[in-house]
Amino acid sequence: MLRITAGEHRGRKLRVPAVASTRPLPERARQGLMNHLRALIPEAVIWDVYAGSGILGFEALSRGAARVVAVERHRAAAAQLRASAAELGYADRHEVAQVDVRSFLDQAPRQPPNLLFYDPPYAAFRGSGRPETWELFCALAARLAPGGCAVVHAPKGLLAPHERAQLSGLEERVYGSSSLYWWHKGEE
């Protein structure tokens, strides 16, 4: 069970889907992230990519986000996302896209997101799939609305200098064995 840390559903617990690759961001890290994004959350459109438990999207909805599109390919996780959204009364503001991330990129909603949460399995950052995983994040981040923010959850200190250089101004915060990287898109 995961606990929503603030907003209208503060203290509510959500079930975590029984999926091996689901690795929810620890509560302390979620609080730090939400505090950093505090000014961007109200009325935001959010893409929660590799949503898993959906805790980041539900934290943002609890704090006033307008809408979340949760991208989750795994059937059991997608079903749990829909159940959690209904339980919290967010079914009309929370959409589950049960597709592969590449497919989502090809058919993404026209309205660009204000926030992007990208939380692939750690295995995606290791080995031969790593360049594609990072390229997908960069491609999704490029779709942000002006002034938006993209956040990626990855193993601690993993990104190489050449990867970090692809997004000027990328910041890192370390939480235990995890790193959160965020990038703010400039106003156009």
Q: Which residues sit opposite 46 in a β-bridge? A: 68, 115
The residue with greater pLDDT, 74 or 19, is 74
Whether the predicted pLDDT of 135 surpasses 70 = yes
Determine the pLDDT at residue 75.
93
Whether the predicted pLDDT of 6 surpasses 60 = yes
Instruction: Give which of 37, 36, 9, 22 is closest to 120, Cα–Cα.
Output: 22
22 — pLDDT class (breaks 50, 70, 90): low
pLDDT tens for 71-89 read: 999 999 999 999 999 999 9
For the chain, the structural domain boundaries read 2-184
Mean pLDDT computed over 5-34: 78
pTM: 0.92
Instruction: Give which of 79, 108, 112, 118 is closest to 96, Cα–Cα.
Output: 79
Whether the predicted pLDDT of 170 surpasses 80 = yes
Cα gap 46→33, rounded to integer Å: 14
Mean pLDDT computed over 152-164: 87
C-alpha distance from residue 146 to each of 40, 139, 149 (Å): 12, 15, 9
Q: What percent of the chain has pLDDT over 90?
A: 60
| CATH number attached to the domain at 2-184 | 3.40.50.150
Share the mean pLDDT of the chain.
90
First to last CA, the chain: 41
